[in-house]
Structure 1
Amino acid sequence: MKTKAIVPPKLADPCNQDVKIKAQKVILGFKKEVVEFIIRLRILRIVLRHFKNPLKVLKILKTLDSNRRKISGPGRVNKFIKINGRYFWNLYIPGSNSLAFDRFFEGEINRISPILKKTNRFSNIFIAFTKKCPLKCEHCFEWDVINKKEKLRLNDIQTIIKKFQLKGVAQVQITGGEPMLRVDDIVEMVQSSHNVTDFWVLTSGFNLTYANAQKLKLAGLTGVVISLDHFDPDRHNMFRGYKNSYQWVEEAVKNSIDSNLVTALSICVTKSFVSESNLMRYAELAKKLGVSFVQVLEPKSLGHYSGKNVQLPPDQEKILEEFFLKMNFDKRFRDFPIITYHGYYQRRVGCFGAGNRHLYIDTDGDIHPCPFCPAKAGNALEDSLDYSLPVLQSKGCQLYNDTNIR
């Protein structure tokens, strides 16, 4: 069956124009110390709601801090991002001063020592909102289904979200395809969901106009993760398969920041890209654009990369780890965006997918360990999660199981 061609919006200006963008607020120095103290106090209060034994409380707090260091690196939190009265320091932890933050930490506390009340089952879930996309990205993991007939309607997705909110989920990451092709459905879905969950959109920047960013913000969206796979406009456009995709990113970042959405860039780092100089040039651009976070993803041999040798060698993994630690903990880079690099903790403590802390729901509603690990374990719309989740956990993560941790 033929599908209607997706026509990208016309852009008025060339992609090399200077776009004036304000940076999101970074909290440093003494103010950072005050914010950190307040956040630690809030976490202490959450622990004290459930435990009164001082020794147990101390043990839980120490374990939480130990877990943070294993996941995020050995140093203290070096900076916070303040947006809408909330403080963020990790792309996958809800900002403080919110119910989502409290429920997230109740879930983490429950992993250390069980508590009586119902807690978050997941840190986050990824849900593919559409098969449609105007791009032909080099690394697309959904390549085999792109632009085929849709299966999930809005009410189907709302049903799935409600199921997972009943199980407890701190964050929902809306992906695709290109989810901004269904921006009105996203608005309605976010509006109809409980406010104890943070919602994010993962996009190429397509259709993220100021008007759409405002609609998403008013609906209750927390933030946007925008893919930018090179600091050079031509190379990014080539990677994405469209001549103006770099300009989409510039305009989307500006519109997101102007709408007070938490704003992040995401890059898939290929073998040809990974070097200290390239990473620093990308970080400089991210700082100039004013984003709060940069997410670094490693390429996986699936989708459009299926059968290709794209896995990074150990020496490049080391470069990425050193970059991650330097940017987040070296005082020289305190005013740069916070780096999220999943490979760092995956090689130390294992993957958080496969129903551990997150999972992936594809465009047919099928449940998988994560976006980069296809292994169906039931259908989120048709099957009971009480059946699907144990199946998912029994399969585990194919890429980062216990034998791969080092």
Structure 2
Amino acid sequence: MTPQQPLIPLRPVADIPPAPASASGIVPQSSDTTLQDTHGRRFSYLRLSVTDVCNFRCNYCLPDGYQCSDTPEPLSLDEIATLAQTFAALGTRKIRITGGEPSLRKDLPEIIRILKNTAGIEQAALTTNGYRLSKQIDDWVAAGLDQLNVSIDSLDPQQFQAITGHDKLQEILSGIERARELGLTRIKVNAVLLKTFNESGLSQFLNWLKTTPVTLRFIELMQTGDNAEFFAAQHVRGEDIKQQLLQDGWQPKLRGSHDGPAQEFYHPDFSGQIGLIMPYSQDFCKSCNRLRISAQGKLHLCLFGEEGHELRPLLHYASADIQQHIRTLLGQKKESHYLQAGRTGAISHFAMIGG
């Protein structure tokens, strides 16, 4: 898909009113009903993919670009509303909109608004590659966006283009500045660590954080079904970065109840903070608090799980039935992703279910 291609068409749907409960009677329950698996982990965070289409060609994800497929159309607004209400009733308090690239959906502001108007959902977040950020951030904030994550794998324009296939770095940085002007304070920048592309750019990122109040998150490259050779050549250990930060005076930060798996650090001399996502670290999965829904409505218990579980056909059933089905499925969640053992599950690239 090229950047000039039209936005993804969607079915017309009825407006979703900002009511505390849906017509089906789904209402959020008390926090003691929060989803819990057989390993004692509680799940208050949902990553909701709204499309698997992406217009970037990141070398660690879609080096050949998005390949069109015959998969069903993405979740409609009504289906998204039902899912949000269902998971809110199960104790979900944060929903992150992911892709592919979510901004390729022309109704993204409506999706944000639906999540914000769902009783029980406290945080509506968005992860984007930033391609449309400077043009659309005003609409996203007006719809109620609480948190923004933007992928920037290098602050060097040439390296950025080499990784993503697009010369958009300065425009994306301008979009982040506009988000700050609009009062959005919860901004994170994601960078996948790559040995021959951006590992040497750590100092450039640190200089940027001196005066920029964002959280920069370094993500350790993970092996998927399609990238074994690339992974072997480019993998950088997050633990090495962590030890360097500690030696340079960075201090660990306490993890919030709905935060993802990043270990975050702050430094008194820096306006920004740093997070490290290290899936190969010991006990990484013990802090898991998230579930994933694909753009076609499948529940993924783990990013590296063997399969997705169909929820879409159930969305017209009674809410109690859907909730019980989700609880039953959660009993199948494994203790670990076993990524350290070389298992990559069914995932071939991260655009499939939003990372």
What TM-score does the superposition give when structure 1 sets the normalisation length? Answer: 0.61
| Residue in 2 that maps onto 1:215 | 139
CA distance in 1, matches of 2:93, 2:245: 24
| Residue in 1 that maps onto 2:4 | 7
Structure 1 or 2: more helix by fraction: 1
Give the total of aligned pairs.
291
| Residue in 2 that maps onto 1:342 | 277
Q: What letter matches 1:341 in structure 2?
A: L
Q: CA deviation at 1:205?
A: 0.8
Q: Does 1:280 align with 2:203?
A: yes
Q: Is the 8 A contact 1:6 1:133 kept in 2?
A: no
CA distance in 1, matches of 2:62, 2:153: 15
CA distance in 2, matches of 1:322, 1:135: 32
Q: CA deviation at 1:237?
A: 1.3
Larger Rg: 1
Secondary structure of 2:150's match?
strand
Q: What letter matches 2:216 in structure 1?
A: V
Secondary structure of 1:335's match?
coil
List gaps (5 residues or longer) in structure 2. Answer: 7-29, 253-264, 315-321, 344-355
Q: CA deviation at 1:287?
A: 3.9
Q: CA deviation at 1:307?
A: 3.1
Match of 1:126 among 34, 47, 53: 47
1:3-47 CA-to-partner distances (Å, cap 9, x unmatched) read x854189xxxxxxxxxxxxxxxxxxxxxxxxxxxxxxxxxxxxxx
Cα–Cα, structure 1 residues 157 and 141, in superposed 2: closer, same or farther, change >3 Å? farther
Q: What letter matches 1:209 in structure 2?
A: S
Secondary structure of 2:282's match?
helix
CA distance in 1, matches of 2:89, 2:170: 39
Match of 2:310 among 379, 382, 385: 379
- 1:100-179 to structure 2, matched below 5 A, reads 121-140=42-61, 147-148=68-69, 150-179=73-102
Secondary structure of 1:135's match?
coil
CA distance in 2, matches of 1:323, 1:341: 12
CA distance in 2, matches of 1:260, 1:213: 11
Q: Is the 8 A contact 1:190 1:219 kept in 2?
A: no
| Residue in 1 that maps onto 2:239 | 318
| Residue in 2 that maps onto 1:399 | 338
Q: What letter matches 2:122 in structure 1?
A: T
Q: What letter matches 1:376 in structure 2?
A: E
Q: Is the 8 A contact 2:302 2:337 kept in 1?
A: no
| Residue in 1 that maps onto 2:260 | none
Q: CA deviation at 1:134?
A: 1.8
Secondary structure of 1:382's match?
helix
CA distance in 2, matches of 1:139, 1:235: 13
| Residue in 1 that maps onto 2:297 | 365
CA distance in 2, matches of 1:309, 1:319: 20
| Residue in 1 that maps onto 2:174 | 251
1:71-124 CA-to-partner distances (Å, cap 9, x unmatched) read xxxxxxxxxxxxxxxxxxxxxxxxxxxxxxxx88x899x99xx9xxxxx95231
CA distance in 2, matches of 1:144, 1:403: 25
List gaps (5 residues or longer) in structure 1. Answer: 10-102, 115-119
CA distance in 1, matches of 2:286, 2:65: 25
Q: Is the 8 A contact 2:60 2:227 kept in 1?
A: no
RCO higher in 1 or 2 (8 Å CA, sep ≥ 6)? 2
Match of 1:186 among 104, 107, 111: 111
Cα–Cα, structure 1 residues 263 and 287, in superposed 2: closer, same or farther, change >3 Å? farther
| Residue in 2 that maps onto 1:46 | none
Q: CA deviation at 1:147?
A: 4.8
| Residue in 2 that maps onto 1:351 | 285
Match of 1:294 among 189, 196, 216: 216
1:254-302 CA-to-partner distances (Å, cap 9, x unmatched) read 1211111221100011122575x532321222444x2421112111222
Cα–Cα, structure 1 residues 204 and 286, in superposed 2: closer, same or farther, change >3 Å? farther
| Residue in 1 that maps onto 2:14 | none
Q: Is the 8 A contact 1:126 1:361 kept in 2?
A: yes
Cα–Cα, structure 1 residues 293 and 209, in superposed 2: closer, same or farther, change >3 Å? same
What TM-score does the superposition give when structure 2 sets the normalisation length? Answer: 0.68
Q: CA deviation at 1:229?
A: 0.4
RMSD: 3.8
Q: CA deviation at 1:253?
A: 0.7
Q: Is the 8 A contact 2:239 2:278 kept in 1?
A: no
Q: What letter matches 1:247 in structure 2?
A: Q
Q: Is the 8 A contact 1:121 1:169 kept in 2?
A: no
Q: What letter matches 2:159 in structure 1?
A: R
Q: What letter matches 1:293 in structure 2?
A: T
Q: CA deviation at 1:179?
A: 0.7
Q: Which moved more, 1:165-174 or 1:313-322?
A: 313-322
Q: Is the 8 A contact 2:53 2:100 kept in 1?
A: yes
